[in-house]
Amino acid sequence: MPSAGTPTAAPRRGGRRMRPSRLLFVLITVGLPMVLYLGLVIWPFLQAIYYSLTNWGGFSSSMDFIGLDNYKAIFSDDVFMKALRNNVILAILVPLVTVVLSFVLATMVTVGGSTTGAVRGLKGSSIYRVVSFFPYTIPAIVIGLIWAQMYDPSKGIVNGLLTHLPFGLGDRFNSFAWLGETATAMPASIFVIVWGFVGFYMVLFVAAIKGIPAELYDAARIDGAGRLRTMFSVTLPMIRETVQTAYIYLGVLALDAFVYMAALNPTGGPDNSTLVMSQDLFKTAFSQGQYGRASAMGVVLAAVTLLFAALVFGVNRLLGGKSDK
Amino acid sequence: MATVTYDEATRVYPGADVASVDKLNIDIQDGEFLVLVGPSGSGKSTALRMLAGLEEVNEGRILIGDRDVTNLSPKDRDVAMVFQNYALYPHMTVADNMGFALKIAGVPKSEIRSRVVEAAKILDLEPFLDRKPKALSGGQRQRVAMGRAIVRSPQVFLMDEPLSNLDAKLRVQTRTQIASLQRRLGVTTVYVTHDQVEAMTMGDRVAVLKDGLLQQLDTPRRMYDHPNNVFVAGFIGSPAMNLLEVPVTEGGVKLGSIVHPVKRDPLAKTGDKVIVGIRPEDLTPASEGGIPVEVDVVEELGADAYVYGRTDVGGESDKQIVARVDGRQVPDKGQTIHFVPKGEGDHLHLFDPESGERLGD
């Protein structure tokens, strides 16, 4: 029956050319997001790069193409370089301290309890899980303002407590300006950011640790692994992806850090010791009206951020490759 | 190598009213293969985890050799465990998995390597030493888990349903391997399973648990021939023993239309009814009399066949009966055949209908 094949073949041949409904589907699901992405992400990005090569003031329609002059200017500008340096310090310390603290805490509340009996967290630690999440629910600007008050040299609670230290140690904190000294302004600011995020990342890590089969911890304990060994040989490798993600998020946050820094030290701190790039960018664009130059700063910020993410991925792969062997 | 002793060991989970393991007493000999068997929720895994130190002991003691390990942490007990899902470290190679405990114990690298290779040889794992667990089949993973236990040469092996994730054929094969490996190494082993066939084929002795209580502790043979109560009788053996509640009459028990003679002494302890247990192989077809069984299904296994049918016995209707018959003379479905106990009733088991306890020897 040679004709039997024809009817089944017909719709297939028709399918080669896209039917209108199918075309519409593709346009909506693939085309629309692509257009939005191009229009709202890629285009502004390219635009910013273009502006960074001009002397545009932001409000006039006149702009001249000046090549890399803006970049030359900001890289020879001590203030911007200091801001860049501060951002790099933040990007190194904030993720490191936050991830380490929240990882240790997460381990303690999930698997760090008694070494006999079933694997469990420390006694009564579930309360801490809730309490430590609180800071994350407070808006960043509020956190900044609260801590600015707490660090206040004469009325702040920090000095209020520290001045009561015994053996004359307390006297040193009389009217000590935490945010007004070049030596302490940056560490004090880092502390605030870390304080705000440890709880959240702890909860994130707790969720990841809960996903590890309990049998694995049983096996580790029978193999003789103590708390530290279990942490490094079981927990960390098992939640490595989560740690990497947390690290990148925190790094991106630290490379911005605008809200915290602006709330704690609006002008960049003593001797610009807490000034960050986004603050400098803001000032350059909106106070000084140098949009071209501010755009160049933005491009540098974006480049540093991408570099940071690439670095974290690279390091993770390198370490992973090592322990895999 | 050591003995293991459960001395009134009890575990009550927080918030639970009843004990998951209730006053467990078992003495395990040095080098013995003991199987803990029972249905889910019987407390067999809990009992094993108590020995491992992964579960607290609320009352009583657990000893390994002469050491009281009740309050020791798992790492100080010198036991190795094989888990149901193997619990291999996914980020480590097979060799690292097997050598992890030795590494923690501070054994020199060269010695770790040689011990791992030695164990890998025994288990045919040599080609896979540098692979990660995810690149292995289920059977290979199971062997790695075994290897991890062997490498440590511990005092006691603990195995928590290590075969339940294997397919049927591999399970039978691995069952024999584990049993022979254990005989060769001579390490005291406690093995948990829900599968009574595994229990019967592997164990030197078998402990049957139900609801946290030890029902019987015996050799597989004795367990089969002399179940202590109705539960053990029904649990051990496949297909299960027929348990019929029948009237007691003068000189014996009434099985359908016949009176089967049994000794007087055991019957003296019960009322006018008794539970009679007859294994499928202890029933034989008779021309008439005995228990009339209407055949539902016939399972032909070649040499033998199992007849599954229903009968009305001792006031109960549609009671399920299983009997083993000659594979060459199988009845038809729907046919009614009469079964009587083989011989003089030496293989008849009598249980008290109230307590379920065994009557007589």
pLDDT reported for residue A3: 46
Structural domain spans, chain B: 4-230, 242-351
CB contact under 8 A, B87 and A234: no
End-to-end alpha carbon distance in chain B: 36
| Helix A78-110 / helix A240-256 crossing angle, nearest 10 deg | 150
Among chain B residues, the shortest Cα distance to A227 is held by B75
**Cβ–Cβ under 8 Å, residues A65 and A299:** no
Q: Is a pLDDT exceeding 70 seen at residue A325? A: no
pLDDT reported for residue B1: 65
The Cα of B15 is separated from the nearest Cα of chain A by a number of Å equal to 15
Percent of chain B with pLDDT strictly greater than 70: 99
The 3-class secondary structure across A19-65, one letter per residue, is CHHHHHHHHHHHHHHHHHHHHHHHHHHHHHHHHCCECCCCCCCCCCE
Among chain B residues, the shortest Cα distance to A119 is held by B54
**Closest residue by Cα to residue B210 from B232, B192, B228, B181:** B232
Predicted confidence (pLDDT) per residue in B314-361, tens digit:
777 788 999 999 988 888 888 889 998 887 767 889 999 989 999 887
Mean pLDDT of chain A: 86
Amino acid at B248: V
Q: Give the closest of B56, B75, B152 to A221, CB-based.
A: B75
**Closest residue by Cα to residue B283 from B314, B315, B324, B251:** B324
**Cβ–Cβ under 8 Å, residues B47 and B55:** no
pTM comes to: 0.82
**Cβ–Cβ under 8 Å, residues B317 and B195:** no
**Sheet hosting strand B79-82, strand order edge to edge:** B79-82, B156-160, B188-193, B33-37, B205-210, B213-218
Residue of higher predicted confidence among A112 and B82? B82
CB pairs under 8 A between A and B: 83
**Cβ–Cβ under 8 Å, residues A233 and B89:** yes
CB contact under 8 A, A116 and B101: no
Strands, DSSP E only, in B56-145? Answer: 59-64, 67-68, 79-82
Looking at beta carbons, which residues of chain B come within 8 Å of A215? Answer: 83-85, 87
pLDDT reported for residue B351: 92
CB contact under 8 A, A213 and B73: no
Compute and round to an integer the Cα radius of gyration of chain A. Answer: 27
Q: Which residues of A56-84 are buried (b: 16+ CB within 10 A; e: fewer)?
A: bbeeeeebeeeeebbbeebeebeebebbb
Q: Give the closest of B87, B104, B105 to A216, CB-based.
A: B87
Q: Which two tokens stand for residue B247?
A: 């009237």
Q: Looking at residue B31, what DSSP letter applies?
A: T
CB contact under 8 A, A229 and B73: no
Compute and round to an integer the Cα radius of gyration of chain B. Answer: 24
- Say which residues have a Cβ less than 8 Å from residue A130's Cβ, sequence separation at least 6: none
**Interface residue B241 vs chain A (CB under 8 A):** no
Topology adopted by domain B242-351? OB fold (Dihydrolipoamide Acetyltransferase, E2P) (2.40.50)
- For residue B258, count other CB atoms closer than 10 A to its CB: 17
Percent of chain A with pLDDT strictly greater than 70: 93
Topology adopted by domain B4-230? Rossmann fold (3.40.50)
CB contact under 8 A, B81 and A218: yes
CB contact under 8 A, B91 and A323: yes
Q: What is the mean pLDDT of residues A268-289?
A: 90
pLDDT reported for residue B262: 82
The Cα of A300 is separated from the nearest Cα of chain B by a number of Å equal to 38
Q: Which two tokens stand for residue B252?
A: 């014996």
Domain count, chain A: 1
Predicted confidence (pLDDT) per residue in B104-115, tens digit:
999 999 999 999
Q: What is the mean pLDDT of residues A244-262?
A: 92
Q: Is residue A123 part of a domain?
A: yes
Q: Give the closest of A117, A224, A237 to B75, CB-based.
A: A224
CB contact under 8 A, B80 and A219: no
| Helix A291-324 / helix A43-51 crossing angle, nearest 10 deg | 120
The Cα of A324 is separated from the nearest Cα of chain B by a number of Å equal to 6
Domain B4-230 identical in fold to domain B242-351: no
Test the B interface: residue of A222, A233, A316 with most B CBs within 10 Å: A222
Q: What is the mean pLDDT of residues B6-21?
A: 91
The Cα of B41 is separated from the nearest Cα of chain A by a number of Å equal to 17
Calpha distance A297→A84 (Å, rounded): 10
Looking at beta carbons, which residues of chain B come within 8 Å of A213? Answer: 85, 87
Q: Is a pLDDT exceeding 80 seen at residue A324? A: no
CB contact under 8 A, A221 and B80: no
Q: What are phi and psi of B184, to 5 degrees?
A: -70, -45
Predicted confidence (pLDDT) per residue in A3-57, tens digit:
444 444 444 554 567 788 888 898 889 999 999 999 999 999 999 999 999 888 8
**Interface residue B55 vs chain A (CB under 8 A):** yes
**Cβ–Cβ under 8 Å, residues B232 and B226:** no
CA distances from A133 to A68, A137, A259 (A): 46, 7, 20
**Closest residue by Cα to residue A133 from A83, A198, A72:** A198
- Say which residues have a Cβ less than 8 Å from residue B31's Cβ, sequence separation at least 6: B1, B186, B187, B188
Predicted confidence (pLDDT) per residue in A83-102, tens digit:
999 999 999 999 999 999 99
Mean pLDDT of chain B: 91
Q: Are strands B156-160 and B79-82 parallel, antiparallel or unpaired?
A: parallel
Among chain A residues, the shortest Cα distance to B84 is held by A215
Q: Give the closest of B83, B88, B152 to A218, CB-based.
A: B83
Number of H helices, E strands in chain B: 9, 20
**Sheet hosting strand B21-28, strand order edge to edge:** B21-28, B4-11, B59-64, B67-68
pLDDT reported for residue A261: 92
pLDDT reported for residue A10: 46
Among chain A residues, the shortest Cα distance to B92 is held by A324
Q: Which domain holds residue A190?
A: 91-277
- CA angle (B170, B172, A213) in 5-degree steps: 60
What 3-state class would DSSP assign to B358?
Answer: strand
Test the A interface: residue of B20, B68, B83, B156 with most A CBs within 10 Å: B83
Test the A interface: residue of B58, B64, B91 with most A CBs within 10 Å: B91
Predicted confidence (pLDDT) per residue in B163-188, tens digit:
998 998 999 999 999 999 999 999 99
Of A61-65, B23-27, B40-44, B335-339, the one with minimum mean pLDDT is: A61-65
What 3-state class would DSSP assign to A72?
Answer: helix
CB contact under 8 A, B104 and A224: yes
Q: Is a pLDDT exceeding 90 seen at residue B232? A: yes
- B7 strand-pairing partners: B61
- For residue A154, count other CB atoms closer than 10 A to its CB: 10
Among chain A residues, the shortest Cα distance to B151 is held by A223
Calpha distance B291→B8 (Å, rounded): 44
Q: Is residue A33 part of a domain?
A: no
Looking at beta carbons, which residues of chain A come within 8 Å of B49? Answer: 118, 218
CB contact under 8 A, B75 and A225: yes
Calpha distance A295→B53 (Å, rounded): 63
The Cα of A59 is separated from the nearest Cα of chain B by a number of Å equal to 57
Interface of A with B (CB under 8 A): 115-119, 213, 215-216, 218-226, 229, 233-234, 237-238, 240, 323-324
- Residue A6 CA to chain centroid, in angstroms? 61
Among chain B residues, the shortest Cα distance to A213 is held by B87
CB contact under 8 A, A215 and B84: yes
Q: Which two tokens stand for residue B269?
A: 């302890």
Looking at beta carbons, which residues of chain A come within 8 Å of B84? Answer: 215
In this structure, chain B runs to a length of: 361
CB contact under 8 A, B54 and A226: no
Query: The CATH number of the domain where A206 resides is what?
Result: 1.10.3720.10
